[in-house]
């Protein structure tokens, strides 16, 4: 690109199918925007780069590693732009939305993190999705901005909504927690732990009701709400979010998960409580970067299972 990018979209991709899907979605060419792709190919047999991704504004790095949080950390190390947006290989980004991200940070120099909106195409085929299907909103968003350390009722964060000032993240030494996320011991929640670490470190953030992207398929939390590993992860995260009311919330989460799935309430509660026990026994090991948690950050740790 002739000028340094103002915003880099950090796209975590997994497997040859993910790279092919990203090629079909064809990230738009946008002035001031660069696309960074970290493609994890665990067998180490890296495929030829698809023609659609052979552009000056797209940089692809291959890695034989596994783990979504690890992949996001590889992208943090690759990034150079002052602003970054978290992305995945199953997301269609809005050109207008990305330009509005840049504009939002210019208008709000006091914030280090910003959260936005996305909708979804509810397709069952994520390898060859039908892009003609209408996009719908899986989440209910507030209509007005609010600070992320005092989130609106019912709000929870998703990875592909999060943008941040890279120098502020680097200065605080914040990384994605590799205990969480796909192909990790707790297969979701790396985005919420990342946001929690940012707020605990004193960084300011706000939500803005601006649409920036469309996601293919339902989120992991919607598709696999009652999967044992997802439930166990909830059992780890809820006590961090609500230390004074964790137990009734764990029970309520188990009940809601059972009602929204074919699993029984005792099954859901058992696996959630396993996560709670993990939190009790291994908290310092699971959250090594959190030195202290203030009252504001306890109220603001919002989790999402994308």
Residue 221 has pLDDT above 90, yes or no: no
Count of the separate structural domains present in the chain: 2
Among the three residues 160, 184, 218, which one is the final residue of a domain in this structure? 218
Same domain, 125 and 262: no
Same domain, 261 and 291: yes
Among the three residues 166, 197, 218, which one is the final residue of a domain in this structure? 218
Q: Which residues form the domain of 63?
A: 7-218
The answer to whether position 22 is within a domain reads yes
**Please, which pLDDT band fits residue 182 given cuts at 50, 70 and 90?**
very high
Residue 217 has pLDDT above 70, yes or no: yes
Among the three residues 159, 190, 218, which one is the final residue of a domain in this structure? 218
The 3-state secondary structure of the chain reads CCCCCCEEEEEEEEHHHHHHHHHHHCCCCCCCEEEEEEEECCCCCCCCCCHHHCCCCEEEEEECCCCHHHHHHHHHHHCCCCEEEEEECCEEECHHHHHHHHHHHHHCCCCCEEEEEEEEECCCCCCCCCCCCCCECCCCCCCCCEECCCCCCCCCCCHHHEEEEHHHHHHHCCCCCCCECCCCCECCCHHHHHHHHHHHCCCCEEEEEEEEEEEECCCHHHHCCCCHHHHHHHHHHHHHHCCCCHHHHHHHHHHHHHHCCCCCHHHHHHHHHHHHHHHHHHHHHHCCCCCCCCHHHHHHCCCCCC
What's the pTM?
0.90
Same domain, 90 and 205: yes
pLDDT single digits (tens) 139-164: 889 999 999 999 888 888 999 999 99
Same domain, 27 and 155: yes
The answer to whether position 2 is within a domain reads no
Residue 94 has pLDDT above 90, yes or no: yes
Same domain, 61 and 182: yes
Same domain, 104 and 212: yes
Over residues 178-207, the mean pLDDT reads: 94
Q: What is the pLDDT of residue 289?
A: 64
pLDDT single digits (tens) 110-147: 999 999 999 999 888 877 788 888 999 888 899 999 99
**CATH no. for residue 160?**
3.90.550.10
Same domain, 186 and 292: no
Residue 306 has pLDDT above 50, yes or no: no
Residue % of the chain over a pLDDT of 70: 92
Residue 166 has pLDDT above 70, yes or no: yes
Same domain, 85 and 206: yes
Over residues 98-107, the mean pLDDT reads: 98
Residue 241 has pLDDT above 90, yes or no: no
Same domain, 208 and 252: no
Residue 203 has pLDDT above 50, yes or no: yes
The answer to whether position 305 is within a domain reads no
Average pLDDT, the chain: 90
The answer to whether position 306 is within a domain reads no
Same domain, 171 and 40: yes
Same domain, 198 and 228: no
Same domain, 200 and 102: yes
């Amino acid at each position: 690109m002739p000028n340094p990018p103002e915003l880099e979209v950090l796209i975590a991709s997994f497997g040859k199918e993910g790279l092919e899907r990203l090629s079909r979605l064809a990230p738009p060419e946008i002035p001031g925007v660069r696309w960074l792709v970290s493609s994890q190919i665990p067998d180490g047999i890296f495929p030829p780069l698809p023609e659609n991704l052979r552009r000056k504004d797209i940089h692809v790095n291959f890695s034989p590693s596994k783990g979504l949080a690890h992949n996001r950390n590889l992208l943090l190390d690759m990034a150079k732009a002052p602003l970054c947006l978290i992305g995945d290989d199953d997301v269609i980004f809005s050109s207008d939305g990305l330009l509005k991200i840049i504009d939002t940070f210019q208008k709000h120099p006091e914030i280090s993190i910003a959260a936005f909106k996305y909708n979804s195409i509810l397709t069952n085929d994520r390898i060859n999705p039908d892009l003609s299907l209408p996009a719908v909103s899986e989440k209910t968003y507030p209509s007005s901005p609010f600070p992320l350390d005092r989130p609106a009722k019912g709000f929870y964060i998703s990875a592909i909504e999060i943008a941040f000032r890279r120098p502020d993240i680097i200065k605080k030494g914040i990384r994605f927690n590799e205990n969480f996320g796909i192909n990790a011991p707790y297969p979701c929640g790396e985005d919420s732990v990342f946001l929690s670490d940012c707020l605990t470190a004193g960084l300011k953030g706000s939500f803005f009701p601006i649409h920036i992207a469309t996601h293919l398929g339902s989120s992991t939390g919607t598709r696999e709400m009652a999967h044992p590993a997802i439930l166990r992860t909830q059992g780890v995260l809820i006590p961090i979010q609500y230390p004074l009311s964790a137990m009734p919330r764990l029970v309520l989460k188990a009940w809601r998960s059972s009602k929204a799935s074919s699993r029984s309430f005792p099954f859901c509660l058992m696996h959630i409580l396993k996560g709670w026990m993990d939190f009790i026994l291994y908290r310092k090991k699971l959250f090594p970067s959190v030195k202290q948690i203030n009252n504001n950050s306890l109220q603001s740790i919002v989790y999402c299972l994308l």
